[in-house]
Amino acid sequence: MGKIYTVMTDAAPGRAGILPVFLRLASMLYGVGMRIRSLGYDQGIITAQKLPCRVISVGNITVGGTGKTPMTIRIAQLAGNMGFRPAILSRGYKGGLEKRGGIVSDQTRVLIGPAMAGDEPYMMARQLPGVPVLVGADRVRMGHAAIETFASNLIVLDDGFQHRRLTRDLDLVLVDDRTFFGNGRLLPRGLLREPATALGRAHAVILTRCDPAHSLSFSRLAAMVPGKPLFTSRHAPYIDGIYNGKDAGPEKRHEPMIDDFSVLHDAGVFVFSGIAQNGEFLRMISEKAKSVKGAMAFPDHHPYTDAQCDDIVRRAQRLSADYLVTTEKDYIRVMGRLQTAIPLVVAGVRIDFGPDAERFADFLKNRLAGEGYEADKRR
């Protein structure tokens, strides 16, 4: 996978070797398939279905982590504050209910664990008490289930931009300010799920991991989507809790949620993660801790084995780490399986719109109310 990813992110058009050639041919075939599918929807040959409520999609056009899950959480919170009754629909990737569908949480409690729900839906259910979370590949059916079961009047689709079978009132597309579109090529030669021209379907584009004063991509993106609302946001890190790795569930938190990293300022840590942006997570922790004594990176959605959990513990002990550090998504997959007295710090990120917070809230409110929106000409 490492060699393939290197080719996928390499911008050199004439890279030599059999693998780049194979991936380039596969990319061409993939592109033809995507264009035919898109044309089918654009021409009405393939009919999208509509739910009897508002629908918001949070998605992207690249593979990898652009912040869809924390953005979905933020959108659901904002909509709830506006008086809507939101429900979240996720595919439940690699969860036991992905094919047949199911309810992860109702308006009072989480009903199933991460093995059946998938790690990201379980994490969203845990963070959003009062907001139903449902999973299933058939999101039209699960949308009707949310409306009938919970009287939801707003559906938020997690990773829904390519799920064109369901009509939406608002398409939000996220673009990572740092990685942008990679080498600009389609899968599997590059990172693009669709051609960059697919941004034309979006109602608004949001740059994530973005410092507006030092953005690498804002002007490029603005030129690509003239007249379309464009917002900036950043990933604001926080500590979810400090746990005993032997504990079986997140309810056994050693400390309440804290929003600073002072506990790590004088500590040596061992970091492990299995997410799309392992390097970004390691960089974030490196800025917060006194020292990173060691680190292990795994593929996104990695199913940790007992042997790997034991290896993580052995390495941290050998390096005399004061804390183990991982992500919320990874904690869901290892909780109760780290047999060590070393405390486990679980870190996450929230979406912070910064100077765009009020403008984005107004945009969202207007769109959900059915009103038009005029992009801020000053941006």
Q: In whole angstroms, what is the distance from residue 156 CA to residue 117 CA?
A: 17
Q: Which domains does the chain have, with CATH numbers?
A: 54-233+353-368 (3.40.50.300), 236-350 (3.40.50)
Amino acid at 339: Q
195-207 pLDDT, tens digit each: 999 999 999 999 9
- DSSP, res 61: S
Q: In whole angstroms, what is the distance from residue 313 CA to residue 318 CA?
A: 9
Q: In whole angstroms, what is the distance from residue 129 CA to residue 108 CA?
A: 6
pLDDT at 255 exceeding the cut of 90: no
Q: What is the residue-averaged pLDDT of the chain?
A: 91
325-376 pLDDT, tens digit each: 999 999 999 999 999 999 999 999 999 999 999 999 999 999 998 644 333 3
Q: In whole angstroms, what is the distance from residue 17 CA to residue 188 CA?
A: 15
Whether the full predicted model's pTM is greater than 0.75, yes or no, is yes
Buried b (16+ CB within 10 A) or exposed e, 307-346: ebbeebbebbeeeebbbbbbbbbbbbbbbebbebebbbbb
How far apart, in Å, are the Cα atoms of 66 and each of 24, 72, 105, 369, 373?
24, 12, 25, 27, 25
Quote the pLDDT of residue 378: 28
Please check whether residue 337 is in contact with residue 304, taking contact to mean a CB–CB distance below 8 angstroms.
Answer: yes
53-109 pLDDT, tens digit each: 999 999 999 998 899 999 999 999 999 999 999 999 999 999 999 999 999 999 999
First to last CA, the chain: 40
Q: Is 89 in a helix, a strand, or coil?
A: strand
Please check whether residue 139 is in contact with residue 163, taking contact to mean a CB–CB distance below 8 angstroms.
Answer: yes
Q: What residues form DSSP beta bridges with 87? A: 155
